Structure 1
Amino acid sequence: MSDLPPYPPLDPTTYDLIIVGTGISESILSAAAASSSSNTSVLHLDPNPFYGSHFASLSLPDLTSFLHSSSSLSPPPPPSSHDHNFLSVNLVNRSLYSSVEITTFDSSIHEDHDSRKFNVDLCGPRVNFCADESINLMLKSGSNNYVEFKSVDASFVGDSSGELRNVPDSRSAIFKDKSLDLMEKKELMTFFKLVQAHLADVATVRINEEDLESPFIEFLDKMELPPKIKSIILYGIAMLDYDQENEEACGGLLKTREGIARLALYITSIGRFSNALGALIYPIYGQGEIPQGFCRRAAVKGCIYVLRMPITALLLDKETGGYKGVRLATGQEIFSQKLILDPCITVESKSMSSLTDQQKETLRVIIPKAISSNGKIARGICIIRGSVKADVSNALVVYPPKSLFPEQLAAIRVLQLGSGLAVCPADMHVLYLSTVCDNDDQGKTALLSAMSTLIRPQVPESLQSDPVVENDTAEAKPVVLWRALYVQELVKGEFGGSISSASSPDGNLNYNEIVKSAIKLYEQLMGSGELFKEDNPTEENDGGAENED
């Protein structure tokens, strides 16, 4: 590969663990393995010139290039001339992205501003609850020394009329909420008191076992909560995707036990940190800072990092079929006991016909297979001038199922972020949208519906001879300057013995499920053991806490 930097050969050439890709799962695993008491030697590679893989935060040109280059299958590597006792199995990258549409509505976004002032998330919208597992793991590992967070100002539940109802995050917020009448405020306060008493294990007011095993929606009905309050609890706090009034559509209703656990996460997040006003926080410079924080921690513990370094083949023992190592794009062969791969890496189809059953078992988790059966996530990014809510810069908006149109099967989440988070210039905001979907058209239709509710329709520059006049009776909507729409496949991480695969970004708002998957994979890889058990989170960092551009 002629575009590779002139890297010298790696030394050493043998490691306990090789990891390819610097996404959330991979970065947690590299930091945990490098920090383990067994002194695991780790080589961490990434074919990209940046950290984060599918969880990265990129400039607009880099985001555009990544989505377009990743929306088609990469060609197979050239034949190898190596002759030894190993079988070489070629690798290719499969696409996680489809239906990529990128539109510039106002060319001044590229002319008047340095487009590299934008730090745009590939996997948005994404936030961290103050008490969720990703924050706990960062605190435990010391990775928090390298990432700074700010509070998300407010959360809303929206509908097709354009109304945005507050999601209250405290008793005072409930009383100040003008969208709730006195009776609704009383009902919501009573419900929260019951949940808090249950979580505090107050015997006289605990929710009984029968209710805990019943559908959450039935429990809310039993509490006689009105539809408006139920919608806020189910979709604005518990962050459910599917219509809980329709068991067939959601593929199984959420049980009250899990619903209460989700409310507990929200409640315990409020007030955990003195500089966070509500339950949600977001990292300055974008979500890509989180995997980079874990990578920095891994580097402090001895992990070796090489960016811009693809692997082109796996090396298997010809006799046993067992995994031995990888071949880098430079041609160098590196060996390890274990290997973790980015979710888009798979075996070249032509190589499959020559493999024995034993060799196929070694490669089981990365053998080409249909990945659309795991579901899809439609994602949208808009650069806007203005705000979707007056006087609010950083905000989350959730549109519950059927709130925008009758065929809307899943909730749509929208996250607006401003310049205070160093993600865009001062006069703009970045808007992230996502929804889970069965197919590309369904997902993009849902996102466009949310956009049309929040954003003023853009007029082509050729027709903008006269100034746009806003309706005096309507609140001015923000105007979109740039937009990206794409659909991402959902790939779950899988343990395969010597070769394992990491997870792609999921459709959730936070990282809890991805972190749980990474912890489980670590336990399987290492035999047992607690992540970062021997680490000291108060240890002085290496001076790299500031952001690196």
Structure 2
Amino acid sequence: MEETYDAIVLGTGLTECIISGLLSAHGKKVLHLDRNNFYGGETASLNLTNLYRVFYPGTEPPAELGANREWNVDLIPKFTMANGKLVKLILHTETVANNLEWKCVDGSYVMQVSAGGVFSKAKAKVHKVPATDSEALKSDLMGLFEKRRCKKFFKFVQNYEPNDPATHKNMNLQRQPGRELFAAFGLEENTIDFIGHAVALYTSDAFLDQPSHDLIMKAKLYMDSIGLYGNSPFLYPVYGIGGIAEGFSRLSAIYGGTYMLNKPIDEILFGEDGKVCGVRAEGEVARAPLILCDPSYVLNLNKARSTGRVIRAICILNHPVPNSDNAPSGQIIIPQRQVGRRNDIYVSFMSSSHCVCSEGYYIAICSTSVETDAPEAELQPAYQLIGDVLVSFIKVYDTFEPTEDGRADNLFVSKSYDATSHFESACDDVLNLWERMMGEPINLETTLRPQVAQPQQVDS
């Protein structure tokens, strides 16, 4: 502990573990500390006993749920875009790529409320998300003429090249907002809804007033990810996402990184120049000119500000999620406009196919950004979709972001994880943090290959 390092990392959430591994692999001497006695922080995957211990202390899991070793339940589930930033980060690190097993997520769905008629009531229905021109023609999300318009839009997105004006439909897509792009194709409101929220994966309707280029590139990423490894754009690791954090922790150890779990942090230390110089933990001092941490370590320093709250409900089911074609895993997005909200609602579900629960059971995790004083009531649209629940584990998380970019004092703070069911926003934070810390973006076109080194795992 009482040594000098190039960097100290506090917390073992996914963001911190990725950067710790990358720092070590790029030749930095790293000390990684966590107050918890397990890896992963809020992105940990817990067995059944630990899950009950966290949410229902003193209560033993029911025996009928099966063996403890069969459960790996994510506290914060996130799917990975097959052609997205996290996959590129993992492929950049050959060691992590070789130690993770992935399976494709079986389906991606969106909820849409059909208007009621003279003899019928409005009804919420789950549809498979169409993401190609051919799928658009088959989708029951749209009427016949709208399918043709949507097909033209998807074909335009597939052919779009930022540096080729011939593919821009005579529009200045770097400036003109999304609503003007959709208007050019004559798309209806419900079609715009699922494209913006379930294909481009925006969390609000902000895309309507932002440059069309960004919207197109997000939709293009989704479309490019389909078919790479299966019939869905998303991947999910066998045994849960906690394995990703552990994989990057192993990468750091291979390159000589030192880990200490169950290590409470007394104080982050600053020098006379106002820059960080180390941390004090249980009376010992470790020194470093750079510190990265999650927001929980700096709330007393006013280095993080509140961005709201997120509610997550982990639900154990003994049946497939209804209207999902009995898919073993999948995502359902409930766009905000469909249920009169300002934020989308997300449902991630998985089963024994990804080795996260006993056979015959399913885990459905519902989440959204809190808008009222009754957070659980805000998840009712999700509860109505997933059906009967055997047991649920519900928590409201406060979310934070850094108040400064960290360059002034070399104290860099990550963002809390949002309500989305995918890793794209979290990976944006990783890449942004790396560039601020190192002064240049990481080159993901290269592959890091481990050299022989002695791991320095320390149990405190």
TM-score normalised by structure 2 residue count: 0.85
Match of 1:293 among 230, 247, 261: 247
Q: Distance in 2 between matches of 1:451 and 1:432?
A: 10
Asked whether 1:492 is paired with 2:445, we answer: no
Structure 1 residue matching 2:266: 3-state secondary structure: strand
Q: Which residue of 1 aligns with 2:76?
A: 123
For 1:356-395, what aligned pairs fall within 5 Å after superposition?
366-367=301-302, 371-372=305-306, 374-388=307-321, 389-395=324-330
Q: Which residue of 2 aligns with 1:247?
A: none
Q: Which residue of 2 aligns with 1:46?
A: 34
Q: Distance in 1 between matches of 2:82 and 2:312?
A: 24
Asked whether 1:336 is paired with 2:288, we answer: yes
Q: Distance in 2 between matches of 1:529 and 1:414?
A: 33
Q: Which residue of 1 aligns with 2:268?
A: 314
Contact kept in structure 2, 1:35 and 1:535, CA below 8 Å: no
For 1:514-529, what aligned pairs fall within 5 Å after superposition?
514-528=426-440
Asked whether 1:214 is paired with 2:176, we answer: yes
Q: Which residue of 1 aligns with 2:108?
A: 155
Asked whether 1:226 is paired with 2:188, we answer: yes
Q: Distance in 2 between matches of 1:531 and 1:296?
A: 21
Cα 1:324–1:180 change in 2 (3 A) is: closer
Q: Distance in 1 between matches of 2:186 and 2:62?
A: 50
Contact kept in structure 1, 2:401 and 2:414, CA below 8 Å: yes
Larger CA deviation: 252-261 vs 527-536: 527-536
Map Cα deviations across residues 67-105 of structure 1 (whole Å, 9 max, x no partner). Answer: 689xxxxxxxxxxxxxxxxxxxxxxxxxxxxxxxx9x9x
Q: Which residue of 2 aligns with 1:261?
A: 217
Cα 1:411–1:524 change in 2 (3 A) is: closer
Q: Distance in 1 between matches of 2:447 and 2:280?
A: 33
Q: Distance in 1 between matches of 2:61 and 2:22?
A: 45
Structure 1 residue matching 2:295: 3-state secondary structure: coil
Q: Distance in 2 between matches of 1:208 and 1:437?
A: 41
Cα 1:224–1:196 change in 2 (3 A) is: same
Larger CA deviation: 211-220 vs 13-22: 211-220
Unaligned runs of 5+ in 1: 1-9, 70-101, 245-249, 349-365, 456-478, 545-549
Q: 2:432 is aligned with what amino acid?
A: K
Q: Which residue of 1 aligns with 2:85?
A: 133
Distance apart, 1:127 and its partner CA: 0.9
Structure 2 residue matching 1:220: 3-state secondary structure: helix
Q: Distance in 2 between matches of 1:346 and 1:212?
A: 38
Q: Distance in 2 between matches of 1:332 and 1:193?
A: 61
Distance apart, 1:312 and its partner CA: 1.6
Distance apart, 1:60 and its partner CA: 3.7
Q: Distance in 2 between matches of 1:540 and 1:439?
A: 52
Q: Which residue of 1 aligns with 2:390?
A: 481
For 1:438-453, what aligned pairs fall within 5 Å after superposition?
438-441=371-374, 443-453=375-385
Distance apart, 1:24 and its partner CA: 2.0
Asked whether 1:511 is paired with 2:423, we answer: yes
Asked whether 1:18 is paired with 2:18, we answer: no
Distance apart, 1:332 and its partner CA: 2.3
Q: Distance in 1 between matches of 2:4 and 2:445?
A: 26
Distance apart, 1:453 and its partner CA: 3.8
Structure 2 residue matching 1:158: 3-state secondary structure: strand
Q: 1:450 is aligned with what amino acid?
A: A
Contact kept in structure 2, 1:131 and 1:269, CA below 8 Å: yes
Distance apart, 1:533 and its partner CA: 7.8
Distance apart, 1:271 and its partner CA: 2.7
Distance apart, 1:42 and its partner CA: 0.5
Q: Which residue of 2 aligns with 1:437?
A: 370
Q: Distance in 2 between matches of 1:108 and 1:41?
A: 42
Structure 2 residue matching 1:26: 3-state secondary structure: helix
Structure 1 residue matching 2:421: 3-state secondary structure: coil
Asked whether 1:413 is paired with 2:346, we answer: yes
Q: 1:491 is aligned with what amino acid?
A: F
Identity of aligned residues (%): 26
Larger CA deviation: 195-204 vs 128-137: 195-204
Q: Distance in 1 between matches of 2:235 and 2:51?
A: 23
Cα 1:392–1:516 change in 2 (3 A) is: closer
Distance apart, 1:40 and its partner CA: 1.5
Unaligned runs of 5+ in 2: 114-122, 456-460
Q: 1:480 is aligned with what amino acid?
A: V
TM-score normalised by structure 1 residue count: 0.72
Cα 1:410–1:315 change in 2 (3 A) is: closer
Cα 1:129–1:251 change in 2 (3 A) is: closer
Cα 1:252–1:66 change in 2 (3 A) is: farther
Q: Distance in 2 between matches of 1:65 and 1:541?
A: 39
Map Cα deviations across residues 459-504 of structure 1 (whole Å, 9 max, x no partner). Answer: xxxxxxxxxxxxxxxxxxxx21111222222222442523222222
Structure 2 residue matching 1:491: 3-state secondary structure: strand
Q: Distance in 1 between matches of 2:270 and 2:202?
A: 44
Q: Distance in 1 between matches of 2:184 and 2:132?
A: 23
Larger CA deviation: 517-526 vs 128-137: 517-526
Asked whether 1:284 is paired with 2:238, we answer: yes
Count residues in correspondence.
439
Larger CA deviation: 168-177 vs 382-391: 168-177
Structure index of larger Rg: 1
